[in-house]
Chains A and B, each alone.
Chain A
Amino acid sequence: AQKITQTQPGMFVQEKEAVTLDCTYDTSDQSYGLFWYKQPSSGEMIFLIYQGSYDEQNATEGRYSLNFQKARKSANLVISASQLGDSAMYFCAMRERQLTDKLIFGTGTRLQVFP
């Protein structure tokens, strides 16, 4: 069964607008971490934001925020004020404490920002 589901293969957003990238996860562990990474066409994976399962506040890092809804097992990434440089693949990933720190990734969402 898929542990991380990203249902949007592609998204378009106009520059300066906000966009939400969806991520749902499946785990029976009580302690886990959720991560978002950006992968531009050049290939490197860039860490964006982290949310812990026990964190009560939604994580924020600059223009990135994570809409964490634990009961629904969703961890959507919100990018505010989109920029052309935000065009990339975005991956949601989970780390479960019961596993050896490995990240489980979704299939990704390709975001394209247009002027």
Chain B
Amino acid sequence: GAGVSQSPRYKVAKRGQDVALRCDPISGHVSLFWYQQALGQGPEFLTYFQNEAQLDKSGLPSDRFFAERPEGSVSTLKIQRTQQEDSAVYLCASSQESGTSQPQHFGDGTRLSIL
């Protein structure tokens, strides 16, 4: 596709349920990022992949959060035993390669609401 595609667009889950969020990056983009955006805030970094390698997961808030990109393209962010504080918009971004000058291109995000 032309841009970064995320699904689902909206997700409502009960506290304690597991959720999986999908990101399909721009074709050929090596780098993939996940960010969490709380209401009224800027996005905050969660994790980063270069191809299939997860190079940085320092932003994952707890061991309930897990991300993978097994074939170096599509990525899944999984949240286990969801809590209310996990409610946020989860943004995926990709860039053509690593480097300070490369812009990251974002998807529309998944709005997660935990009841």
Contacts and interface: CB of A to CB of B under 8 A. Distances in A.
Interface of A: 4, 31-33, 35, 37, 42-47, 50, 52-53, 91, 93, 95-97, 99-108
Contacts of B43: 45, 91, 103, 105
**Centre residue among B33, B101, B108 by max chain A CB count within 10 A:** B101
Interface in B40-68: 40-45, 48, 55-56, 59
B56 A91 contact: no
Contacts of A42: 108
Nearest to A94: B100
Interface of B: 31, 33, 35, 40-45, 48, 55-56, 59, 89, 91, 93, 95, 98-109, 111
A101 B91 contact: no
Contacts of A46: 106
B78 to A, nearest CB: 20
B75 to A, nearest CB: 15
Nearest to A34: B100
B104 A47 contact: yes
Contacts of A53: 100
A4 B43 CA distance: 12
Contact of A44 (B41, B45, B108): B108
A100 B56 contact: yes
B48 A43 contact: no
Contacts of B93: 45, 103
Contact of B100 (A4, A33, A37, A45): A33
B98 A108 contact: no
A98 B59 CA distance: 16
A106 to B, nearest CB: 6
B101 A33 contact: yes
A81 to B, nearest CB: 23
Given A31-B100, A101-B99, A43 B109 contact: yes
B100 A102 contact: no
A44 B95 contact: no
A32 B101 CA distance: 8
Given A100-B48, A106-B42, A32 B100 contact: yes
20 contacts: A31-B100, A33-B101, A35-B103, A37-B106, A44-B106, A45-B43, A47-B104, A47-B106, A93-B42, A99-B56, A100-B48, A101-B48, A101-B100, A102-B45, A103-B93, A103-B104, A105-B42, A106-B42, A107-B40, A107-B42
